[in-house]
């Protein structure tokens, strides 16, 4: 009976629910894991201590205890080892300890074998027990310091004011604002697994180990996923995940926003059917190194000749399109001339659109970047000389406008 009592009151960390063999180690753990300044890595003694340190030394507000469970992140509660833990939480912890034992918990004899391997048991057991309660705690959280100090931000926006709004005039279709929310909210509920994985592996490491190359998950290189990319035919994602390492978060209170597979986002994306289609097109398989020959060459020949033949016509198109663009930005004109640098801006414009024929703006304004289907890739591009031709350089230096100085 008495022995039992001692076991149950094993010291535990209020912030992360971990149990320790004795309170000294618990205090070490708290200093390293929960009271360490993330900026200078100084170890403080309590949550409020950390908060004051960050505020005074780094001018940063800390709103939560690092690496803490969501409902235990209150930085204002002063906890040192087992001291300062709210009574209610102490009781709850005892209750959960008792409750999470697998066998008939009333019978004390049965507890004995289970207690032989207390660590994994307790850690796995506590995670699910704690998580569900978490959302309720939100109201209690101290206000967050996010974003920038208001003064700085506003000041900057004001500075942008007179010039900035120009862009708001153009006719680009804007996304309805509510659409953006989907991304943020729609994520799956935070999984429980991250808490189980990491807390068992560094169980002996008391130190926060911020710089230590642990995390077995990511060290060993993944099997060649490039095979999957080139093997075009079968992209069964399920087998992949089993072979490939996964990305797991080391803290119960955080989640890395990344697909579980530990390969780059681009590799994952390239497997998507939308992009796979376009990869195995033309050239590729036939002797890739015959620069400027084979199909590339034919494309090129077309493009080149087309470019030459259509140079004049293109120029017209571009002129018209640019004229159209000019029309789209009526408010752009005054600043240019007001800024007192008509030389630079106008001379750049002049050789390219003489007389600025105002063509039909609505037709040509947008599609300049998107050639009609049948056109070879080179067609719509800049005709020789327009971009790099002498007229542009001949007109004298580009004078910096105040905007980008």
Binding to other proteins (CB under 8 A): which residues in 280-339? 281-284, 288-292, 296, 299-300, 303-304, 307, 322, 325, 329, 332, 335-336, 339
Residues 16 to 55: which contact other proteins by CB under 8 A?
Answer: 38-39, 55
User: Reduced to 3 states, what is the DSSP secondary structure of residue 36?
Assistant: strand
Residue 143 within binding range of other proteins, rule CB under 8 A: yes
Residues 81 to 110: which contact other proteins by CB under 8 A?
Answer: none
Whole-angstrom distance, CA of residue 306 vs CA of residue 375: 9
- Which of 156, 305, 340, 350 is close enough to bind other proteins by CB under 8 A? 156
- Which of 247, 302, 310, 356 is close enough to bind other proteins by CB under 8 A? 247
Distance of closest approach, residue 87 Cβ to other proteins, in angstroms:
22
CB 392 within 8 A of CB 351: yes
Distance of closest approach, residue 240 Cβ to other proteins, in angstroms:
13
> Which segment (7-15, 84-92, 94-102, 245-253) binds other proteins by CB under 8 A?
245-253
Q: Please give the structure tokens belonging to residue 276.
A: 């796979």
Q: Which is nearer to other proteins, 2 or 230 (CB)?
A: 230
Q: Which is nearer to other proteins, 82 or 339 (CB)?
A: 339
Whole-angstrom distance, CA of residue 244 vs CA of residue 259: 12
Residues 160 to 199: which contact other proteins by CB under 8 A?
Answer: 160, 163-167, 170, 172-175, 177-184, 186-187, 190
Distance of closest approach, residue 377 Cβ to other proteins, in angstroms:
4
Q: Which is nearer to other proteins, 26 or 379 (CB)?
A: 379
- Which of 17, 30, 71, 199 is close enough to bind other proteins by CB under 8 A? 71
> Which segment (19-27, 86-94, 103-111, 257-265) binds other proteins by CB under 8 A?
257-265
Judged by CB under 8 A, how many residues of this single chain contact other proteins? 137
Residue 384 within binding range of other proteins, rule CB under 8 A: yes
Q: Please give the structure tokens belonging to residue 127.
A: 């995670």
User: Reduced to 3 states, what is the DSSP secondary structure of residue 225?
Assistant: coil
- Which of 73, 126, 195, 320 is close enough to bind other proteins by CB under 8 A? 73
Q: Which is nearer to other proteins, 6 or 289 (CB)?
A: 289
Residue 138 within binding range of other proteins, rule CB under 8 A: yes
Cα-trace Rg, the chain: 32
Residue 373 within binding range of other proteins, rule CB under 8 A: no
Q: Please give the structure tokens belonging to residue 154.
A: 């506003």
Q: Which residue has the tokens 């505020």?
A: 55
* Phi and psi at residue 212, to the nearest 5°: -75, 135
CB 376 within 8 A of CB 303: yes
Identify each DSSP E strand in 32-176 by its residue range: none
- Which of 1, 116, 132, 150 is close enough to bind other proteins by CB under 8 A? 150
- Which of 52, 270, 302, 310 is close enough to bind other proteins by CB under 8 A? 270
CB 100 within 8 A of CB 129: yes
Whole-angstrom distance, CA of residue 388 vs CA of residue 374: 27
Residue 154 within binding range of other proteins, rule CB under 8 A: no
Residue 394 within binding range of other proteins, rule CB under 8 A: no
List 12's β-bridge partners, or say none. 19
Residues 337 to 366: which contact other proteins by CB under 8 A?
Answer: 339, 341, 344-345, 348, 366
Distance of closest approach, residue 292 Cβ to other proteins, in angstroms:
5
List 64's β-bridge partners, or say none. 74
Handedness of CA 36, 41, 45, 51 (dihedral sign): negative
Q: Which is nearer to other proteins, 118 or 259 (CB)?
A: 259
Distance of closest approach, residue 91 Cβ to other proteins, in angstroms:
22
Longest dimension (CA), the chain: 100
Residue-by-residue DSSP string for 164-221 = GGGGGGS-PPPPPTTHHHHHHH-SPPPPSHHHHHHHHTTSS--S--SS----HHHHSP
Whole-angstrom distance, CA of residue 23 vs CA of residue 46: 15
Q: Which residue has the tokens 């509660």?
A: 77
Whole-angstrom distance, CA of residue 215 vs CA of residue 236: 27
Distance of closest approach, residue 86 Cβ to other proteins, in angstroms:
18
Distance of closest approach, residue 267 Cβ to other proteins, in angstroms:
7
Residue 378 within binding range of other proteins, rule CB under 8 A: yes
CB 35 within 8 A of CB 27: no
- Which of 205, 265, 343, 350 is close enough to bind other proteins by CB under 8 A? 265
């Amino acid at each position: 009976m008495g022995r039992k009592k001692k076991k149950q009151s094993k010291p535990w960390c209020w912030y992360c629910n971990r149990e320790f063999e004795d309170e000294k180690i618990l205090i070490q753990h708290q200093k390293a894991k929960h009271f360490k300044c993330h900026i200078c890595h100084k170890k403080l003694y309590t949550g409020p201590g950390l908060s004051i340190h960050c505020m005074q030394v780094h001018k940063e507000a800390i709103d939560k205890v690092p690496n803490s469970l969501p409902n235990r992140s209150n930085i204002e509660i002063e906890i040192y080892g087992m001291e300062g833990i709210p009574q209610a939480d102490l009781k709850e912890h005892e209750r959960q300890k008792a409750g999470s034992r697998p066998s008939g918990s009333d019978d004390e004899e049965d507890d004995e074998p289970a207690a032989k391997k207390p660590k994994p048991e307790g850690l796995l057991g506590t995670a699910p027990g704690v998580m569900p309660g978490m959302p309720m705690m939100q109201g209690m959280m101290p206000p967050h310091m996010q974003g920038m100090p208001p003064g700085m931000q506003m000041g900057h926006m004001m500075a942008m004011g007179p010039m900035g709004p120009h862009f708001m005039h153009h006719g680009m279709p804007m996304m309805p604002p509510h659409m953006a929310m989907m991304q943020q909210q729609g994520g799956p509920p935070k999984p429980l697994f991250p808490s189980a994985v990491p807390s068992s592996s560094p169980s002996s490491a008391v130190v926060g180990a911020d710089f230590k190359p642990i995390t077995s998950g990511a060290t060993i290189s993944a099997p060649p996923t490039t095979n999957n990319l080139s093997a075009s035919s079968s992209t069964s994602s399920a087998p992949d995940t089993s072979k490939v390492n996964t990305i797991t978060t080391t803290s119960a209170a955080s989640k890395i926003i990344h697909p579980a597979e530990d390969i780059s986002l681009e590799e994952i994306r390239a497997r998507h059917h939308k992009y796979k289609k376009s990869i195995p097109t033309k050239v590729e398989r036939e002797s890739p190194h015959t620069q400027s020959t084979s199909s590339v060459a034919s494309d090129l020949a077309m493009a080149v000749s087309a470019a030459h033949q259509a140079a004049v016509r293109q120029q017209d198109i571009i002129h018209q399109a640019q004229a159209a663009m000019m029309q789209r930005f009526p408010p752009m004109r005054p600043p240019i001339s007001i800024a007192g640098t008509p030389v630079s801006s106008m001379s750049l414009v002049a050789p390219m659109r003489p007389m600025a024929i105002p063509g039909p703006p609505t037709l040509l304004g947008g599609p300049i970047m998107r050639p009609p289907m049948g056109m070879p890739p080179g067609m719509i591009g800049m005709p020789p000389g327009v971009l790099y031709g002498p007229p542009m350089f001949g007109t004298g230096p580009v004078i910096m406008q105040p905007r980008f100085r």
